[in-house]
Amino acid sequence: MVKTLYAGIDESNHGRFPEIYVSAFHNAKKLITEKEMLPKIRHHKNTEDLLEKIDYSFVILRKDDLERLDKRQAQGFIISSLVYRKRRAARNIGLSVFIDGEVPTSNLIYAKDIVSSMCEIPKDCLDFYAGPKLDKRLQLVNYADRFAHYFHGKSLRHLSEDRKMVDLLNY
């Protein structure tokens, strides 16, 4: 039986730089079961406690990072960067990725190809899902949204000291 790791992905500061992409990880299916309109949390009195309970990674993208990548490649490299450490630590698990926002099917297929190649995950063990307002419908994506907003309020120096910050992978 293949165990599945779930990754909820969201970003903060989209279109303005730096952008912060976050992936929240868990293996509990209940965190990707659709809910009715979860609230977006914008106060952060309990966020640090939640960061201790929910595994995550994040990457900070500068404008020049996105300028050097083909627009179709960007999403695949961002996701690969976010999940790489988790995948390398647990080689034989499946990965289901849930992305907040509308992503064309062709871009999801292309991102899946990149993630499969860079993270050495067989394509048949990868599932990608994207949709508007997933951060209000899936608890795991809601956590990623909450973490992204929290990180957006922190200094780059503070963020660079977080051991869960990852670098954008190169090809």
How far apart (Å, rounded) are the C-alpha atoms in residues 16 and 70?
18
Q: How confident is the model at residue 171 (pLDDT cuts 50, 70, 90)?
A: low
pLDDT the model gives residue 38: 92
pLDDT the model gives residue 91: 57
How far apart (Å, rounded) are the C-alpha atoms in residues 166 and 145?
17
Q: What is the pLDDT of residues 8-67, one digit of tens each?
A: 999 998 778 899 999 999 999 999 999 888 988 888 889 999 999 999 999 999 989 888
Q: What is the pLDDT of residues 113-154, one digit of tens each?
A: 999 999 988 888 899 999 999 999 999 999 999 999 999 999
Q: Domains, the chain, ranges and CATH?
A: 4-166 (3.30.420.10)
Does the pLDDT of residue 1 top 50, yes or no? no
What would the two tokens of residue 155 be?
A: 């200094």
Q: What is the pLDDT of residues 62-93, one digit of tens each?
A: 989 888 888 788 999 999 999 999 876 555 67
Q: ∠ at Cα 90 (84, 91), nearest 5°?
A: 85
Q: Are 135 and 100 in contact (CB under 8 A)?
A: yes
